[in-house]
Amino acid sequence: MGLKQNLHNLKEKYKGTKMEPAFNAIHTFLYMPNETTHNGTHIKAADDLKRTMNIVIMALLPCLVFGMFNAGFQHNVAVNHNFTSDMSFFSGEFWNLDNFIIGAKKIIPLVIVSYAIGLAVEFIFAVIKKHEVEEGYLVTGMLVPLIVPVDIPLWMLAVAVIFGVVIGKEVFGGTGMNILNPALTIRAFLFFAYPTWMSGDKVWVTGAKELAGSADAISGETILGSLAQGHHLTYSTQDMFFGFIPGSVGETSTLLILLGALFLIFTKIGSWRIMLSAVIGALTMGLIFNQVVDAGIITEGSKFYGLMSTPFWHHLLIGGFAFGVAFMATDPVTASQTNKGKWYYGFFVGFISIMIRVFNPAYPEGVMLAILLMNVFAPTIDHFVIQANIKKRKKRLKAKTA
């Protein structure tokens, strides 16, 4: 009670000053607001922005923890060559403290920088514009470390976060006003500004340089990078599904991403229509590529053969497709809002993701660019869906009055 009373006194002290929005953000983060509506409400629900953000973070935490273990595991694979194929999800070789410590040392600083820089920018804009600090960055701050390579320099991440928050969100008016997913805006900035760090074909193994005593860091090739170069798949389906593969921090374990997606659907935070239609779109594009290869139009040794010949359903298990569809394509602010629009939106996210993944020679991945592209078209999709509904109602009305 003492702490709460002291905070209340400070709240009164800062009331009416420039720092009021910043202090209120801290107070609201620690305590639920005690304000209620004074008039009758039209809609009654238990949802609020803080609850929504907290649920998404809860769905992301297993991917974060797994990413720490996997970063250490990939390090030990490269340094000690102790990879065991077809391990079970509960294998002691993966879930050991050494793997976690190595991964945590590299990933926790990414999380700290993401939140510290992003929230600092949010607080600055709240003070300047004299509005409340929104909780929107709570999820973005967690997403960003999960979608970047584990070895990204911290200063690059800081610059990208500033760009993403300012250009991707604040210039549009803040949380709820942005047209592009902020986390993907940050990743897109890194991709175009520092392409050698975000090429998608190599993953640097954490700590390998220091422990191996070599002049150069040891690189572990990602599955997409290997397939894009025409190499054969060296990982089993089980390894890809569990996540014992190189990749960005949160994107490797399809199992945990699937569980997180189901949790979002169960809590009515994520749209199952977008997720399902995105999967259908990806499978459709992958199946088309497989048919092209089977017809002999693209033969082994051709430029795009590696990814085109990949079994269409494997595209769901490799790269960042599953993570992007579950946690970013379903962003309620930047995705389509109408139920029918969500089907179109999700389908094209999946369809275009695999198309870019195969045809982009510089970056063997596509979900980031596909989601950003569809973010731009989401309002247009909703517009045509609404207009179609209006036309149908006018026809029914005209038929009744005729």
**Does 18 fall in a domain?**
no
pLDDT above 60 (res 209) = no
The answer to which of 11-25, 172-186, 325-339, 388-402 has the lowest mean pLDDT is 11-25
pLDDT above 70 (res 53) = yes
Residue at token pair 């499978």: 283
Please list, residue by residue across 56-80, b when 16 or more beta carbons sit within 10 angstroms of its beta carbon and e when fewer do: beebbebbbbbbbbbbbbbbbbbee
Distances (CA, A) of 254 to 36, 198, 283: 42, 21, 16
CA distance 107 to 103: 6
Residue at token pair 């709460």: 4
CB 325 within 8 A of CB 279: yes
**Does 16 fall in a domain?**
no
Residue 382 is predicted with a pLDDT of 95
Residue 217 is predicted with a pLDDT of 43
Q: What is the pLDDT of residues 307-356, one digit of tens each?
A: 898 999 999 998 889 999 999 999 988 999 999 999 999 999 999 999 99
pLDDT > 70 fraction of the chain, expressed in percent and rounded: 78
CA distance 116 to 125: 14
Residue 395 is predicted with a pLDDT of 87
CA distance 309 to 333: 36
Helix (H), strand (E), coil (C) string for the chain:
CHHHHHHHHHHHHHCCCCCHHHHHHHHHHHCCCCCCCCCCCCCCCCCCHHHHHHHHHHHHHHHHHHHHHHHHHHHHHHHHCCCCCCCCCCCCCCCCHHHHHHHHHHHHHHHHHHHHHHHHHHHHHHHHHCCCCCCCHHHHHHHHHHCCCCCCCHHHHHHHHHHHHHHHCHHHCCCCCCCCCHHHHHHHHHHHHCHHHCCCCEEECCCHHHHHCCCCCCEEECHHHHHHCCCCCCCCHHHHHHCCCCCCCCCCCHHHHHHHHHHHHHCCCCCHHHHHHHHHHHHHHHHHHHHHHHCCCCCCCCCCHHHHCCCHHHHHCCCCHHHHHHHCCCCCCCCCCCHHHHHHHHHHHHHHHHHHHHHCCCCCCCHHHHHHHHHHHHHHHHHHHHHHHHHHHHHHHHHHHC
Residue 218 is predicted with a pLDDT of 46
**Residue with more model confidence, 30 or 56:** 56
**What phi, psi does 112 have (nearest 5°)?**
-65, -45
Q: What is the pLDDT of residues 112-160, one digit of tens each?
A: 999 999 989 888 887 787 766 666 788 999 999 999 888 889 999 999 9
**What phi, psi does 210 have (nearest 5°)?**
-70, -45
Q: Count CB neighbours of 6 within 10 A.
A: 10
What does the chain come to in residues? 402
The answer to which of 7-11, 59-63, 221-225 has the lowest mean pLDDT is 7-11
**Residue with more model confidence, 273 or 34:** 273
**Does 391 fall in a domain?**
no
**Does 395 fall in a domain?**
no
Total number of domains in the chain: 1
pLDDT band at 84 (very low <50, low <70, confident <90, very high): low
User: Bridge-partner residues for 204, per DSSP?
Assistant: 219
**Does 1 fall in a domain?**
no
Q: What is the pLDDT of residues 272-293, one digit of tens each?
A: 999 999 999 999 999 999 999 9
Residue 63 is predicted with a pLDDT of 95
pLDDT above 80 (res 43) = no
Structure tokens at 130: 């004299």
**What phi, psi does 364 have (nearest 5°)?**
-75, 60
**Does 148 fall in a domain?**
yes
Return mean pLDDT, the chain.
82
Residue at token pair 């005729």: 402
Q: What is the pLDDT of residues 95-107, one digit of tens each?
A: 999 999 999 999 9
Residue 274 is predicted with a pLDDT of 97
Range of the domain at 123: 49-384
**Does 359 fall in a domain?**
yes
**Does 40 fall in a domain?**
no
Residue 133 is predicted with a pLDDT of 67
pLDDT above 90 (res 168) = no
The answer to which of 190-199, 266-275, 317-326 has the lowest mean pLDDT is 190-199
- The model's pTM is 0.84
Residue 178 is predicted with a pLDDT of 85
Residue 115 is predicted with a pLDDT of 94
